[in-house]
Chain A
Amino acid sequence: MGPTLDQWLEHLETTRLAVAISESTWAFPTIETVHVLAITLVVGSIAMVDLRLLGLSLRRRPIAELLLEVLPWTWASFVAAVTSGALLFASAATHYWGTAPFRAKMILLLLAGANMLVFHFVVQRRATAGDRTGEPVLAGKICGGISLCLWIGIVGCGRWIGFV
Chain B
Amino acid sequence: MKALIHWLGNTELSTLIKTVTWIIPGVQVIHILAISVVVASMGMFDLRLLGWAGKRHSIAEFASRFLPWLWGALLVLLASGSILIVGEPERSLGNLVFQLKMGLLLTAVGVTLAFRGLLVRDLTAGASDLRPEHGLAAKFVGGLSLCLWVGIVTAGRWIAYAG
Interface residues of A (CB under 8 A from B): 29, 32-33, 36-37, 39-41, 43-45, 47-48, 57-58, 69-70, 73, 152, 155-156, 159-160, 163
Q: By the criterion CB–CB under 8 Å, are B40 and A41 in contact?
A: yes
Distance A89 CA – B2 CA, assembled complex (angstroms):
38
Q: By the criterion CB–CB under 8 Å, are A40 and B39 in contact?
A: yes
21 A-B residue contacts at CB 8 Å? A29-B158, A29-B161, A29-B162, A33-B154, A36-B32, A37-B39, A37-B150, A39-B36, A41-B43, A43-B33, A43-B40, A44-B38, A44-B40, A45-B40, A47-B36, A47-B40, A48-B40, A48-B44, A69-B54, A156-B29, A159-B25
Which chain A residues border B153 with CB–CB below 8 Å? 33, 36-37, 40
Residue of A nearest to B68 (CB): A57
Mark out the residues of chain B between 30 and 74 whose CB falls within 8 Å of any chain A CB in the assembled complex. Answer: 32-33, 35-41, 43-44, 53-54, 65, 69
Interface residues of B (CB under 8 A from A): 25, 28-29, 32-33, 35-41, 43-44, 53-54, 65, 69, 150, 153-154, 156-158, 160-162
- Scoring B35, B150, B156 by chain A CB atoms within 10 A of each residue's CB, the highest score goes to B35
Where chain B touches its partner, the secondary structure class is: helix
Q: By the criterion CB–CB under 8 Å, are B53 and A69 in contact?
A: yes
Where chain A touches its partner, the secondary structure class is: helix
Q: By the criterion CB–CB under 8 Å, are B25 and A163 in contact?
A: yes
Distance A58 CA – B39 CA, assembled complex (angstroms):
17
